[in-house]
């Protein structure tokens, strides 16, 4: 009965997550490293072994390359399904592993449900790039399962080596996976067996790091005192992750304490290997959070409340959770129908809470990603009209690695979302990437006949030699200039420290984009968007010199 329920739960959850995944698109910067810079575009290939930030991600790179060959960037769905598949496989693997460790059927099934419906870690499941995190944890558990079933010697040991090397090639969490397995073997089988398990994966990783990985190593912080913040970061990730999983405000510290006390005091007489795994998971959790804190301090403590950290915390602490549950159940007198009903109710409540968190994460992601298929179509339409990308940085979105100059290459046109761009989609893409504000000329044409349309707050004081002296009587004064087929560019000198631009064409009006400009210095403002009006709004009143 329990194995059947676990399989049914896994199938149901896989379907639910696949449904949630269907409306998401690429947007996060990590995706674009794998999509654009790993050989999918001619002459743009940093290589299979180059680090992704400070992660060894060769397996993820290969998966992206295969998927890109078949699906390009037309849709996100196949990429997201890989992460979901790894997550569901991890949930399914938990059941036979716990049974192998001597845990009862129903408790093992509950452990599988805890992983499958881990909505507290939704960000790790509904984001394609985190296939490296989920995959590394899956492989860590697989190595333990293989070792506990076949032993950590001979062919089984060689299989464990292969599994752990693959885990290392998924992400930095692979380092934690190696530590997790090694600590378990050390506790359960002694130092010699642990040294054998540790040896080959570590040697392979060191070889990669010395050859390639140092290029992605984080620079130390300017002040060594900043590292004193690490305990706060670790504690935040630990307690917040557990609190999200339980849905009980302020419960994270209590749950963490219960798990630590359980690992230190509970005797797992019916499942002796479980306590070894629980202790290994507890230490591996602290190791992973320490590793993350040491390389992510610059992102701020709030970043450690992200659900992907909660996923790692709960998955690594799962054996400790099972240990405590197993002990509590052993203390309940038999028969215990009321206890069984209470346990079932708690598990159902956990499932419902988890599904809510998955749905909420999907809503948050689609809110950000919904415009991006249209933006991609708009970029293609602009490129087909020979418009030039003027702005590389996508400062309004978490897209540090997005390369618009690569996306608009002709070889990429068939890889972008299908369909013709609407007028609004094209204008939106143009206002992001086809408008520029710089301290040097953009190389665009000046207006053929000098004409600036004064929208509000501006008055022309004097015009001479292609330049106009204008007076802005109020903050937020606005003017526009019309682009011809090749675009348009003007030079502006004035008191503003920031300005906004937007585009208008045939009744369509784009959203604005903000820019910082140097006060009292010349700024060159232009757009390559053909036959569009470039509308510029300045933040300060005062005197402006505008030249063609």
| Other beta carbons less than 10 A from residue 526's beta carbon | 27
For residue 298, what pLDDT is reported? 85
Token pair recorded at residue 125: 């499941």
Distance CA 98, CA 378 (A): 51
* Same structural domain, 86 and 168: yes
162 and 128 within one domain: yes
**Kind plus residue range of the DSSP H or E element containing 6:** helix 2-21
> b/e for 2-29, b at 16 or more Cβ within 10 A?
beeebeebbeebbeebeebbeebbbbbe
- Measured at the CA of 496, the angle between CA 494 and CA 502, to 5 degrees, comes to 105
Q: Which pLDDT score, from 0 to 100, does residue 448 have?
A: 62
Q: Please classify residue 486 by burial: count the beta carbons closer than 10 Å to its beta carbon, then call 0-12 exposed, 13-18 middle and 19+ buried.
A: middle
The answer as to whether 403 is a domain residue is yes
Q: Is the peptide bond before 335 cis (omega within 30 degrees of 0)?
A: yes
Considering the domain architecture, whether residues 196 and 127 belong to the same structural domain is answered as yes
Domain contains 45: no
Is 423 a member of any domain?
yes
- The reported pLDDT for the residue numbered 215 is 86
* Segments in 297-336 forming alpha helices (H): 307-331
517 and 416 in a common domain:
no
Does residue 385 share a domain with residue 349? no
pLDDT confidence of residue 398 = 54
Answer yes or no: do 137 and 186 share one domain.
yes
Do both 8 and 109 map to the same domain? yes
* Residue 517: closest CA among 490, 548, 485: 490
Whether residue 107 sits in one domain with residue 169: yes
Residue 267 has phi, psi (to 5 degrees) of -95, 115
The answer on 329 and 413 residing in a single domain is: no
Boundaries of domain holding 493: 453-547
d(CA 109, CA 93): 11
Residues 161 and 99 in one domain: yes
Domain boundary among 392, 410, 438: 438
Q: Is residue 56 part of a domain?
A: no
Give the distance from CA 264 to its chain's centroid. 35
CA 332 to chain CA centroid, Å, is 43
The predicted model scores a pTM of 0.93
Residues whose CB is less than 8 angstroms from the CB of residue 483 and which lie 6 or more positions away in sequence, other chains included = 527, 528, 529, 530, 531, 532, 533, 534
What pLDDT score was predicted for residue 449? 53
Query: Is 34 inside a domain boundary?
Result: no
User: pLDDT by residue (tens digit) across 484-529?
Assistant: 888 999 999 999 999 999 999 999 999 999 999 988 889 999 999 9
- Predicted local distance difference test score (pLDDT) of residue 269: 66
Grouping H, G, I as helix, E, B as strand and the rest as coil, residue 24 is: coil
User: Residue 160 belongs to what H/E stretch?
Assistant: helix 154-168
Structurally, the chain folds into a number of domains equal to 3
How far apart (Å, rounded) are the C-alpha atoms in residues 271 and 98? 9
Q: Quick check: 66 and 48 in contact, CB under 8 A? A: no
Taking CA atoms, 504 is separated from 8, 397, 492, 510, in Å, by: 54, 22, 20, 6
37 is a domain residue: no
Q: Which of 309, 343, 369 marks a domain boundary?
A: 369
Q: Which residues contact 144 (CB under 8 A, 6 or more apart)?
A: 97, 180, 181, 184, 277
Q: Which residue has the tokens 């196949």?
A: 78
Within-domain flag for 294 = yes
313 and 280 inside one domain: yes
For residue 505 the two structure tokens come to 């064409």
447, 488 Cβ separation under 8 angstroms:
yes
Q: Which helix (H) or strand (E) holds 525?
A: strand 523-527
Task: Provide the CATH number for the domain around residue 521.
Answer: 2.60.120.430
pLDDT along the chain (548 residues), means of 10: 92 97 85 89 88 93 96 95 98 97 94 97 94 98 97 96 98 97 96 97 97 85 87 95 94 95 81 93 97 89 92 98 89 75 90 97 92 95 96 64 90 95 96 93 77 78 77 88 90 92 94 90 94 94 88
Neighbours of 451 (CB within 10 A): 10
Last residue within a domain, chosen from 438, 462, 494: 438
List helix spans (H) across 28-118: 29-36, 58-71, 77-100, 105-116
Classify residue 465: in a domain, yes or no.
yes
CB 247 within 8 A of CB 353: yes
Helix (H) or strand (E) holding 361: helix 337-369
151: Cβ–Cβ under 8 A, 6 or more apart, which residues? Answer: 157
Alpha helices in 212-336 (DSSP H): 230-246, 252-265, 272-296, 307-331
Indicate if 418 and 488 belong to the same structural domain.
Answer: no
């Amino acid at each position: 009965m329990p194995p059947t329920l676990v399989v049914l739960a896994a199938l149901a959850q896989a379907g639910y997550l696949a449904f949630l995944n269907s409306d998401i698109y690429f947007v996060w910067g990590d995706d674009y490293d794998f999509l654009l810079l790993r050989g999918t575009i001619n002459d743009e290939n940093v290589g299979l072994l180059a680090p992704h930030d400070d992660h060894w991600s060769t397996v993820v790179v290969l998966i992206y390359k295969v998927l890109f060959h078949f699906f390009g960037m037309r849709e996100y769905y196949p990429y997201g399904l890989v992460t979901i598949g790894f997550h569901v496989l991890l949930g399914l693997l938990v059941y036979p592993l716990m049974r192998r460790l001597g845990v009862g059927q129903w408790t093992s099934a509950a452990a599988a449900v805890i992983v499958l419906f881990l909505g507290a870690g939704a960000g790790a499941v509904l984001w394609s790039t985190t296939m490296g995190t989920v995959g590394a944890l899956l492989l860590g558990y697989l190595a333990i399962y293989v070792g506990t079933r076949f032993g950590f010697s001979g062919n089984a040991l060689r299989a464990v080596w292969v599994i752990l090397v693959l885990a290392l090639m998924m992400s930095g969490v692979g380092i934690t996976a190696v530590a997790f397995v090694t600590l378990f073997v050390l506790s359960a089988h002694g130092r010699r067996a642990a040294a054998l398990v540790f040896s080959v994966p570590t040697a392979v990783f060191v070889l990669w790091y010395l050859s390639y990985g140092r290029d992605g190593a984080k620079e130390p912080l300017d002040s060594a005192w900043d590292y004193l913040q690490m305990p706060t970061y670790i504690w935040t990730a630990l307690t917040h992750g557990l609190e999200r999983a339980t849905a009980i405000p302020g419960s994270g510290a209590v749950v963490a304490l219960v798990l630590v006390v359980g690992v230190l005091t509970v005797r797992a007489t019916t499942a002796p290997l479980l306590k070894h795994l629980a202790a290994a998971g507890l230490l591996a959790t602290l190791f992973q959070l320490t590793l993350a804190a040491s390389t992510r301090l610059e992102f701020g403590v709030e970043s450690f409340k992200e659900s992907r950290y909660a996923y790692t915390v709960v998955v690594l602490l799962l054996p400790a959770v099972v240990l405590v549950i197993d002990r509590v159940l052993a203390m309940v007198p038999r028969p215990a129908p009321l206890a069984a009903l209470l346990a079932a109710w708690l598990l159902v409540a956990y499932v419902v809470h988890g599904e809510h968190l998955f749905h909420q994460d999907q809503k948050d992601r689609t809110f950000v990603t919904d415009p991006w298929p249209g933006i991609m179509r708009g970029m293609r339409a602009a490129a087909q009209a020979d418009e030039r990308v003027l702005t590389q940085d996508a400062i309004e979105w978490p897209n540090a690695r997005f390369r618009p100059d690569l996306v608009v290459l002709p070889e990429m046109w068939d890889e972008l979302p299908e369909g013709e761009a609407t007028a609004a989609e094209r204008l939106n893409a143009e206002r992001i990437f086809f408008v520029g504000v710089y301290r040097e000329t953009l190389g665009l044409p000046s207006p053929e006949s000098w004409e600036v349309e004064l929208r509000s707050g501006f008055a022309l004081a004097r015009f001479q030699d292609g330049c106009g002296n204008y007076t802005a009587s109020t903050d937020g004064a606005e003017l526009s200039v019309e682009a011809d087929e090749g675009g348009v560019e003007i030079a502006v000198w004035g008191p503003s420290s920031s300005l906004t631009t937007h585009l208008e064409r045939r009744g369509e009006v784009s959203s604005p984009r903000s820019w910082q400009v140097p006060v009292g210095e010349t700024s060159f403002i232009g757009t390559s968007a053909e036959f569009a009006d470039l509308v510029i709004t300045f933040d300060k009143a005062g005197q402006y010199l505008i030249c063609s």
